[in-house]
Chains A and B, each alone.
Chain A
């Protein structure tokens, strides 16, 4: 047992004496949170929409006043006057403007005559996000203009009353579980993958192997040290990330306890998985080569960035055995929904079983000789 603690002591002393390593494993996920959270989470504003008015009637003026209101208030788009539909189309195609609205001749007359008035909307649909936003904005304007001047006392159409269970979750908050999981994964990848193989290549393990340490002591010493490092990383990023994302709930004692349990279980699972992958590897290039692909292979099927329901079946199957899935699900339940122990029980169970299972498989594969 003392020998196992000696391995842990060595690993932890090395970790705390390597500030660059600590900073890199903590800063990278935080940067990712800030950059991706802000890149994906914001509303689209400041786009340019051409208006080609062939009507110039009162209804066209009313429409353009509505566009000006959008430009002045929510600022999704501002309008630019165009004289030619052909020029407007060309400028959308070449990216000078984002979309074009064509108000055809006789538009006002058709509105008054209730004779199927139509507006043209030319949009660059190669950019799904911008085109969908502009389309939605214009649809809202059109719906508002179609609404009768005087409302019926009793509504005749079916209305959907949406009840949101939780406060608004922006993308920064949505990404926080992924960020914490990623910090733990990076810590394991560096500590349990790269440094482990580097130590092997440097001959450090040779030094261990000539001592009377047992295989189990050595394997568990290395893995417990790795799990402690990942746990410290998870706690640090959990707190810093929550402050950045504005999730004060993390400081509630029960939430803290649930997060701690998930972080420890996740660290054990990540570390066990990494040790199993690296147990027979000797080449220091292998973990470096695996870093990126393993990241994609594990992170995306977990639903960290996009809901798993939209994935093909094979990707969903990958997600079932992916520890990221359970770590992130657990974090979301705790941080975003306050789901309690019931909501994370399954995640904790999977992660602990996965971690112990991978270690049990890796231990006999670990060679006590060179």
Chain B
């Protein structure tokens, strides 16, 4: 791991450290000569939502599959719920719930039948099965769809059913592999809200993989950025953002172009760089967006100039990812057809 801006585990309210739910130590996964995961270390505390953020093919799913006993570990150790995934896989399986990337609930079966079959597979005793199914249906807000065939559900509802399926045996740790991929924005937000509610009501530890920056930002207590099989950064979203030089970007558009604007902006306090974009438009990288904004307004006012637009943007996880990996997330998915302008804090 090349950078760990905040590699400390969250503490309880009384300051005492929380017990470790997942501990990954020097874990490797090799397929022949190809190294899918390389010497990865991290820990997840109980009750924490931990995100693995990275582009497709970064090794997130391989990591989650090793932790959920789906593929063997080549080297290193993963302890989940106190059990070694290589030595006690069945104990690990009893303690975890897993939502795979693909939606695999049976479309021909009803919501209840899907949950009932998985409750049996997880060995939920007959006496508590009905109660457990009712509880998870309530938790994911699908109670009134209990007897509906799964094929009649929307994509978001199906994803909630998958989540209910993974919770039907009341696991301590919940693994979600890209839980909102393929969902519309409204359904995505509904899933986020539901996961936050589950975390609060069930004291679940969650490990989520995603390639959505906003998802990781809004949902996760801590994030590990994965690229080419290695962890390149880890910390809370705020820690990661603060770790990038130049916290804010101020975009200003002067009504009139003047070759002196750039020099004037560069002299302002806290400004680290100014990028002219043409026709009076400038991107100003600054440590304090609010202070620089005020200065720009005062400058324009004193000179009798008019501002067409003025906006402040915070550093995003996108900027963090670029900072640590040197490329954008979408570079992995779509070949760029044009060059993007330089972004704040980007490493040469």
Chain B contacts for A204, CB-based, 8 A: 104, 106
Q: Contact at A206–B104, with CB atoms within 8 Å?
A: yes
Chain B contacts for A75, CB-based, 8 A: none
For the complex, is B276 an interface residue (Cβ under 8 Å from A)? no
* B97-123 vs A, Cβ < 8 Å mask (1 yes, 0 no): 010111010101100010001101111
Chain A contacts for B94, CB-based, 8 A: 212
Q: Contact at A369–B70, with CB atoms within 8 Å?
A: yes
Chain A contacts for B104, CB-based, 8 A: 202-204, 206-207
* A290-311 vs B, Cβ < 8 Å mask (1 yes, 0 no): 0000000000000000000000
The verdict on A14 contacting B109 (CB below 8 Å), with A6-B120, A206-B104, A212-B123 known, is yes
Q: Contact at B69–A369, with CB atoms within 8 Å?
A: yes
- Which among B65, B118, B121, B123 has the greatest number of chain A C-beta atoms within 10 A? B121
Q: Contact at B108–A13, with CB atoms within 8 Å?
A: yes
Measured CA separation A167–B333 after assembly (Å): 72
Measured CA separation A7–B70 after assembly (Å): 19
Q: Contact at B121–A13, with CB atoms within 8 Å?
A: no
The verdict on A10 contacting B65 (CB below 8 Å), with A17-B108, A18-B108, A207-B100 known, is no
The verdict on A2 contacting B123 (CB below 8 Å), with A212-B93, A369-B70 known, is yes
Q: Contact at B65–A211, with CB atoms within 8 Å?
A: no
Main secondary structure of the interface of A (DSSP, over half): helix
For the complex, is B269 an interface residue (Cβ under 8 Å from A)? no
Q: Which one of A17, A202, A211 contacts B122 once the chains associate, using CB atoms below 8 Å? A: A211
For the complex, is B76 an interface residue (Cβ under 8 Å from A)? no
* Contacts of B57-113 to chain A: CB distance below 8 A: 65, 68-72, 90, 93-94, 96, 98, 100-102, 104, 106, 108-109, 113
Chain A contacts for B72, CB-based, 8 A: 369
Chain A min CB distance to B301 (Å): 61
Q: Contact at A210–B109, with CB atoms within 8 Å?
A: no
For the complex, is A5 an interface residue (Cβ under 8 Å from B)? yes
Given contacts A18-B108, A210-B100, A211-B93, 10 further A-B contacts (CB under 8 A): A3-B120, A6-B120, A10-B117, A17-B109, A204-B104, A206-B104, A207-B98, A212-B93, A369-B69, A369-B70
| Sample of 22 A–B contacts (CB below 8 Å) | A3-B123, A6-B117, A6-B121, A10-B117, A13-B106, A13-B109, A13-B113, A14-B108, A18-B108, A202-B104, A203-B102, A204-B106, A206-B70, A207-B165, A210-B100, A212-B93, A212-B121, A213-B121, A369-B70, A370-B65, A370-B70, A370-B71
